[in-house]
A and B are shown apart, each in its own frame.
Chain A
Amino acid sequence: MSVDKDTVAKIARLARVRVDESHKESLAKELSNILGWIEQLSELDTEGVEPMTSVVSMKLPLRDDAVTDGGYPNKVTANAPEGAHGFFAVPKVVE
């Protein structure tokens, strides 16, 4: 699979990563190389093979659906670049 500049722009947008225009060409080449190398998996017949969902065979534990933690908004927001009144603050999204 070969990736072009436009595809790089599209996936960068999906991933919310700004990629400089000057860098898109070289990135397209690198990603094409990596994806080309990954392609070798298509040689393998995986008909009827279950995709792995859990590395260790175990049942995911369940617990009561009850509040077990919380009540400290200042601790939760302590590392926010910007916060106010125990909330995270973001650029204005509603006019």
Chain B
Amino acid sequence: MSDLTNLTLAEARDLLAKGETSSKELTEAHIAAMEKARSLNAFITETPEKALAMAEASDKRRKGGEAGVLEGLPIGMKDLFCTEGVLTTAASHILDGFHPTYESTVSQNMWNAGAVLLGKTNLDEFAMGSSNMTSHYGGVENPWRKTGDNRPLVPGGSSGGSASAVAARCALGATGTDTGGSIRQPAAFCGIVGMKPTYGRCSRWGIVAFASSLDQAGPMGRSVRDTAIMLEAMAGYDPKDSTSVNAPVPNYEAALTGDIKGMKIGIPKEYRIDGMPAEIDQLWLQGIKWLEEAGAEVVEISLPHTHYALPTYYIIAPAEASSNLARYDGVRYGLREGADGSLDEMYEATRGKGFGMEVQRRILIGTYVLSAGYYDAYYNKARKVRSLIARDFAQAYEKVDAILTPSAPSAAFAMGENMDDPIAMYMMDVFTVPASLAGLPGISIPAGLTQDGLPLGLQLLGKAFDEESLFKVAGVLEEAAGFDATPAFLAA
């Protein structure tokens, strides 16, 4: 592993600022790392030539006295963000050969801040999954291994390629998107930091849509500081997304003061679920202790509708997905099948061949719950329960500033596990989905290891648009946890 790829994004930024390295040098080191880590299958498309051109342009800008927040820093972009002229697949067969003629707002914001694109990272097809196993381009390997066991593990999902690439030191950071946990759960599985901001903080424009009332972009990195730096560049008002919020973007890095004295942290009793491994419960207790030692006041709270969050999510997300994915019809993008038949036959053949099993399952569920006669019983009911879940959080936040929970109910599992039971897979998001339904920000921090050496994460949830408090508490937790274990595989 080269010294340059083992830096945090913040350290690399500081070296660049001091003139001790160049973006070209940094980018070359990461391109080499990305090539050496191909066995992980973390990238669907590598863009080394574009990366070098961007790096050289960045070095020139810096010489001219210009430097953005991410100036010269090579990153991975989840292959759900449209990138102009660069293959964008959403890990689906149905988007074969799709080269967007426009750039997503979040990626454009990052290029404007000086970032360098290494490539497009792998994901679950249309971001639907918690293992990265539903990708048309094959599963991604987690760079971690259990002690004394070389079986490949999943990186979590859906932002599994981003998590794996960052953990294996192929990229200084990467973007993710989170609909029900797709940033936080893979971050926990791969021992990195993953942050989902408040709904509306980052523009959704140019992100391949899954469930529009839930989708939100966010950063993944190897430290809380790195994700704070990245979010500042990604976030911001965008008139092209009607749910984008017109509020100033603070300097998130400045929020990392280390001082949480007197802050109130809630511990929701409903998150202590049956069958959760004892070591996860232990880590949660340890997290409580760390925050208390740092001067925070820990309070037990109740989020009484937690248990209903997953079934609510599995009505709302598929319902929105079934209408969002109606656009893939063999007419406007990528794949076309059955063109010799009628228009309807062409639609059906294209969608039958182009969508994988999990995507089809969700489209069918979504169609069913929205169909005549079931709309009220399922979809409207779910929207009402969603209001109750949001109210739970609103009431809790009258008493506390942030909430501490585990990130996921297990550590990374083996590739192929949990594949024959969709509901077992859905359970992976049990701790992340409630805040998604309420639109609230959350961050997962690597906080410890299982007995067999796999990373475990703790999750902090915050108030709407108060990402600063979240970063502040996360920074303290990170410092206390002192997580410095490294995965078995590092791009050397």
B199 touches A78 (CB 8 A): no
Label chain A's interface by main secondary structure: loop
For residue B336, give the distance in angstroms from its CB to the closest CB of chain A: 4
Interface: B239 (CB within 8 A): yes
For residue A79, give the distance in angstroms from its CB to the closest CB of chain B: 5
A18 touches B348 (CB 8 A): yes
B383 touches A51 (CB 8 A): yes
A17 touches B361 (CB 8 A): no
A18's nearest neighbour on chain B, judged by CB, is B352
Interface: B339 (CB within 8 A): yes
A79 touches B363 (CB 8 A): no
Other-chain residue from A39, A51, A80, A81 in contact with B380 (beta carbon distance below 8 A)? A51
Other-chain residue from B214, B246, B388 in contact with A46 (beta carbon distance below 8 A)? B388
Interface: A22 (CB within 8 A): no
What total count of A-B pairs have CB within 8 Å? 162
Count of A residues near B, CB < 8 Å?
51
A17 touches B352 (CB 8 A): yes
Q: Give residues 402-450 of B contacting A (CB, 8 Å).
A: 422-423, 438-439
Which of A11, A16, A61 gathers most chain B CB within 10 Å? A16
Which of A12, A13, A38, A54 gathers most chain B CB within 10 Å? A38
A11 touches B371 (CB 8 A): yes
A37 touches B335 (CB 8 A): no
Q: Which residues of B contact A93 (CB under 8 A)?
A: 342-343
- In whole angstroms, how far apart are the Cα atoms of A90 and B344 in the complex? 10
For residue A7, give the distance in angstroms from its CB to the closest CB of chain B: 8
- In whole angstroms, how far apart are the Cα atoms of A90 and B308 in the complex? 44
A60's nearest neighbour on chain B, judged by CB, is B242
Interface: A67 (CB within 8 A): no
A82 touches B387 (CB 8 A): no
A79 touches B97 (CB 8 A): yes
B390 touches A19 (CB 8 A): no
What string of 1s and 0s marks CB contacts (under 8 Å) between A5-27 and chain B? 00110011111111110000001
A82 touches B336 (CB 8 A): yes
B residues at A contact (CB < 8 Å): 97-101, 198-200, 213-214, 239, 242-243, 245-246, 305, 308, 311-312, 314-315, 322, 326, 329-336, 339-349, 351-353, 355, 360-361, 363-368, 371, 377-378, 380-388, 390, 422-423, 438-439, 464
**Cβ-closest 9 pairs across A and B:** A18-B352, A51-B383, A55-B439, A81-B336, A46-B384, A18-B348, A15-B367, A16-B347, A52-B386
Further pairs besides A15-B351, A55-B439: 18, Cβ < 8 Å: A18-B348, A18-B349, A20-B352, A31-B368, A34-B314, A35-B365, A35-B368, A37-B314, A37-B423, A41-B311, A42-B381, A49-B384, A55-B200, A78-B101, A79-B334, A81-B336, A88-B331, A91-B342
Q: Could you write out 5 A-B pairs with CB less than 8 Å apart?
A: A34-B361, A49-B384, A56-B439, A80-B331, A93-B342
